[in-house]
Amino acid sequence: MEKKTTSNEKEPLTSKKDASDCSKGEDCKENGLVVRNPKSALRLVEDGNKAHPSQGDKGEAAQISNGYSGVQSSAPCNGEVEDAQGTAPAATTTTTTTTSTTCGAEAQQQLMELEDRETWSKKIDFLLSVIGYAVDLGNVWRFPYICYQNGGGAFLIPYTIMALFGGIPLFYMELALGQYHRNGCISIWRKICPIFKGIGFAICIIDLYVASYYNTIMAWAFYYLISSFTAELPWTSCTNPWNTGNCTNYFSKDNVSWSLHSISPAEEFYTRQVLQVHRSNGLDDLGGISWQLTLCLLLIFTIVYFSIWKGVKTSGKVVWVTATFPYIILFILLVRGATLPGAWRGVLYYLKPDWQKLLATEVWVDAAAQIFFSLGPGFGVLLAYSSYNKFHNNCYQDALVTSTVNCLTSFVSGFVIFTVLGYMAEMRNEDVSEVAKDTGPSLLFITYAEAIANMPASTFFAIIFFLMLLTLGLDSTFAGLEGVITGVLDEFPHVWGKRRELFVLGLTILCFLGSLATLTFGGAYVVKLFEEYATGPAVLTVVFLEAVAVSWFYGITQFCNDVKEMLGSAPGWYWRVCWVAISPLFLLFVTCSFLSSPPELRLFDYDYPYWTTVVGYCIGTSSIIFIPIYMIYRLVITPGTLKERILKSITPETATEIPFGDIRMNAV
C-alpha cells in the first residue's frame, strides 16, 4: 500500500470558520467532513457510508463523524492530511482515510492504537466479565443485611427507584464512554474534558486501595476452603487448642443451653484461629503477620496474575468458570436452605415489609449506596472493559442485561442467607434478629459457616460455599486491576505498550505488599477501616465529577450524538434527564449523607478510637486530591490568559478514532 501526502492546508476540522466557509462552496462538507479547501475534501466510498447507521443524520456543518461540536479550539498542526489507498477489484475496493488535528507522530500513534487494540473474542466474554465484576461478595452479605435492616420487602421500593434513576444510568454512561472513545480511565479525558484528567489518577489509587484489602477477605475464604477438606469441620467443636471456656456447641447431642456469654465454635475459629485478633490490641498495636494468611494471599495473587497478564482474551476465558460457578452454587444452597427446619422464619424476616421505614432518610441513603456500590461505576472497570468492545456493539442492551442480573442476584442471595438464618434461629430457639446480628464478612464466616457445619454432608457444602466466595472475589479482582492496567497502558503506551506482562507483575507485587498490614493479627481492623473510608466517599466524589464533566462540560447533546454514532439512535429524554440532573443529585445526596454522619466503627469487641476517623478521611482524600492538583497543573502549563487557559482545558484536545465500516478515521 502506497502512502501519499498532500500539502493542502486546512483549518481545524471543527473551527467556527469552517462553518462559515461552508456557505461559499458546495463541496465544503462531504460526508460529515469539514475542510477549508473544497478541492481537498476527502471522498469516502459509498459502501463505507452504508456501514455507518447514523452518519447521514448529521445536520450541522460544524459537526463531523463522531458528533463533535464546532467549538474545538486546539491549534492545527500544519493541516497535514494523509490519504492511503490500495488497489483492488472494483467490487472490493477499500479506502483508509485519516484526518486529524493532532501532529503527525501523535496521529499515527493514535491510529496504530486503534488498529492494534485488543477486542473481546466473543460478546459473551464481555458480558460474563461485567457480570462477574458487578456480582461480588457484597451481593451475598451486604444486600441481605441492608434489606432486612431497612424494612424488609419495603426496602425494595427505594432500592428499585435508586436503581432506575441513579445506578443504571451511570452504569450505561460508563459503558458508552469506554466503547466510544476506546480508552482507559486516564487518557479518555483528553477526548472529553482534559482538565478532569485527575479523575483517572484518582480511580487508579482507589483501585489499588481496594486490591489491598479486598483480596485479604478472599485469603480468609481460601483458609476456610483448605480447612474444609476434613471429615469433621474444625469449627464444629470446642475441643481445639484455640477454644476458650465460653465456647458453646449448642448443635451437639448433649443438652447444651445458649447463654449471654456463650460463643459458638465457629466464631472462635474465625476470630482466634483465622484472624487471631486476640493477639492484637487494635489499630495502634496490630501485632505480627500471620504466615498462613500470607501464603493464602500469595497464591490468590498468583492466580490473578496468570489470569490477566495477557489481556482480556485470557481473562475472558477464565470468567466462563468464575462468573458462572457462583450461580450453580447459589442454586444448590438455595434448594438446601429451603429444606431446612425453620427456613420459613428467615424468609419471613427477610421480606416482611415495615412501611414506616420508608419515612426514614437513612433507608433511602442505604438504598442509593447499595445500588451504587453493587453496580460499581467509578472504578474504571466499565470504561476499561467496554473499551475492548467493537464500535457498534449494543452497549445499551448490555447495560440493561448486566444490571438486571446483578440486582436479581442480590435479591436471590437474600433467600440463600436467610433460609439458613431461620434454621439457626430454630436450633438456638431464638428470634431471627438475634441470629442475624453479624454483619459484613462475619455473616459469611461465622453465621453461615456454622450453619453449614451442622448440615448433613457438611464437608461438601463447606467446600462449594467457600469456592463460590473465591470465584466471586476473583472476578472483581480481575476487573479492578484491569481498570488500572488499561488506564496506565493507554496513557503511557510508549513505555508499557509492549510490556504488559511485566507491568502486571509489578502491579500484583505492589498490591501484595500493600496488603501486608491486613495480614497482621489486627488486620481485620484495617480491612474494616479501608472498606468504610478509603473507597466509599472517594468513589462517590469521583463519579459525581465524572457525571458533571460528561453532561455539563462535554455536553449531553454531544454525548448522545456519540451514542447515536455507535447504536444508530440517540438516548431518549429519560436518559438525558438522568445524566444531566437526577444522577448527579443522586450522588450528591449519598455523599453529603455520608459526610454528615460518618459511620461509627466497631468490630467484635473493639471500638475504633476517634483518631481512626481522621485517618480514614485522610486515606479517602489521598485519592481524590489528584483531581484538584491536576486541574491546577493543567491551568499552569497551558499558555494564554486565564480565560483562554480555562477554555482550552475544557475542550477536547485529542482526536477520537472511530471505525467507519472498512474505513478508519479520526474525528475531532
Q: What is the mean pLDDT of residues 240-246?
A: 87
Looking at the chain, the whole-number percentage of residues with pLDDT higher than 70 is 78
Q: What nine digits make up the cell of 323?
A: 462468573
Task: Using only the alpha carbons of the chain, give its radius of gyration.
Answer: 28
Query: Does residue 520 lie in a domain region?
Result: yes
Task: Confirm or deny that 135 is annotated as ligand binding.
Answer: yes
* CATH number for 507: 1.20.1740.10
- Do the beta carbons of residue 123 and residue 395 sit within 8 Å? no
Model pLDDT for residues 288-314, shown as the tens digit of each residue: 999 999 999 999 999 999 988 888 878
Q: How many degrees, rounded to 5, is the angle at CA 495 between CA 492 and CA 501?
A: 100
What's the number of domains the chain is made of? 1
Could you tell me the three cell numbers for 471?
470465584
pLDDT in tens, 156-198: 898 999 899 988 999 999 999 999 999 999 999 999 999 999 9
Mean pLDDT of the chain: 79
Using pLDDT thresholds of 50, 70 and 90, give the confidence band for residue 205: very high
pLDDT at 101: 39
| Distance of alpha carbon 596 from the chain centroid | 25
What angle is formed at CA 585 by the lines to CA 582 and CA 586, rounded to 5 degrees?
A: 80
Task: Please check whether residue 30 is in contact with residue 46, taking contact to mean a CB–CB distance below 8 angstroms.
Answer: no
Mean pLDDT (whole number) for 338-342: 88
Helix/strand/coil for 90? helix
Is 635 annotated to bind a ligand? Reply is no
545 labelled ligand-binding: no
* 137 in a known ligand binding site: no
465 vs 106, 185, 271, 272, CA distance in Å? 51, 34, 19, 21
Query: Which residues, in sequence order, are CB contacts of 330 under 8 Å at separation 6+?
Result: 409, 412, 413, 416, 468
Quick check: 656 pLDDT over 90? no
pLDDT at 67: 36
Q: Is 472 annotated as a binding residue?
A: yes
- In a domain, residue 390? The reply is yes
Q: Is 374 labelled as part of a ligand binding site?
A: yes
pLDDT grade for 550, boundaries at 50, 70 and 90: very high
Please check whether residue 349 is in contact with residue 152, taking contact to mean a CB–CB distance below 8 angstroms: yes
239 found inside a domain: yes
Q: What is the mean pLDDT of residues 490-519?
A: 91
Average pLDDT over residues 31-51: 36
Instruction: Flag whether 128 is marked binding.
Output: no
Report yes or no on 363 lying in a domain. yes
608 in a structural domain: yes
pLDDT in tens, 585-643: 888 888 888 778 777 788 888 889 988 888 988 998 999 999 999 999 999 999 999 99
pLDDT of residue 438: 65
Cell of 475: 472476578
Instruction: Look at residue 10 and tell me if it is in a domain.
Output: no
Helix (H, G, I), strand (E, B) or coil at 29: strand
- H/E element, 423: helix 395-428
How long, in residues, is the chain?
A: 668
pLDDT value of position 481 = 93
**Residue 61 predicted with pLDDT over 80:** no
The reply to whether 660 falls in a domain is no
Rounded Cα distance between 236 and 266, Å, is 7
The annotation status of 346 as a binding-site residue, yes or no, is: no
Query: What is the model's pTM?
Result: 0.79
Range of the domain at 289: 120-252+260-650
CA distance 114 to 100: 14
The three state secondary structure string of 303-320 is HHHHHHCCCHHHHHHHHH
Residues 475-499: what's their mean pLDDT?
89
pLDDT band at residue 62 under the 50/70/90 scheme: very low
In a domain, 45, yes or no: no
363 in a known ligand binding site: no
568: three-class secondary structure by DSSP: coil
CB atoms within 10 A of CB 404: 12
pLDDT level of residue 658 (50, 70, 90 thresholds): low
